[in-house]
Amino acid sequence: MSVWKQLYTMVWLAFLQIIIITIPRFTIYLVDAHVALGLAILALAHYDNALIKKTAAPNRLKRIVKSTAVLATFQVILGIILYANLRLSVSIPLVSVITFFHIVVALAIITQAASVATAYDMWEEHEYNASQKST
């Protein structure tokens, strides 16, 4: 699968994760599905980072995809804490704050992945043109 398709896949997986969590009849199976999607996003984020790092893509894209991989790693750490609280009945202080950051990071991942997917696709297809000033 080409890199831009993998980047868009990450966007849709993140979107699906958000949808799963907002389902009114939330079950423990949905938590497990959410975890599985999160691990897939983590793997894609790091794999895409490694692939784009080897290309001649603009440095800005490389920085964005790297920060997305870092955010995905941080997201998994937050997720493990929330999973322990929910599934293992471990009492975690400030769980609402951790949940808030988990949501914020999820939105950052989906935003950055969409941004780099579009930009990388345009770069790969040579769609960038020098803008001409009208006089």
Residue 32, helix vs strand vs coil:
helix
Kindly report, residue by residue over 13-39, the tens digit of the pLDDT: 999 999 998 888 878 889 999 999 999
Instruction: Report the pLDDT value the prediction gives residue 100, as an integer from 0 to 100.
Output: 95
CB 101, CB 78: distance < 8 Å: yes
**How many separate helices (H) and strands (E) can be counted in the chain?**
4, 0
Q: How far apart are CA 120 and CA 11, in angstroms?
A: 14
The DSSP string of 78-95 is HHHHHHHHHHS----TTH
Kindly report, residue by residue over 26-84, the tens digit of the pLDDT: 788 899 999 999 999 999 999 999 999 999 999 999 999 999 999 999 999 999 999 99
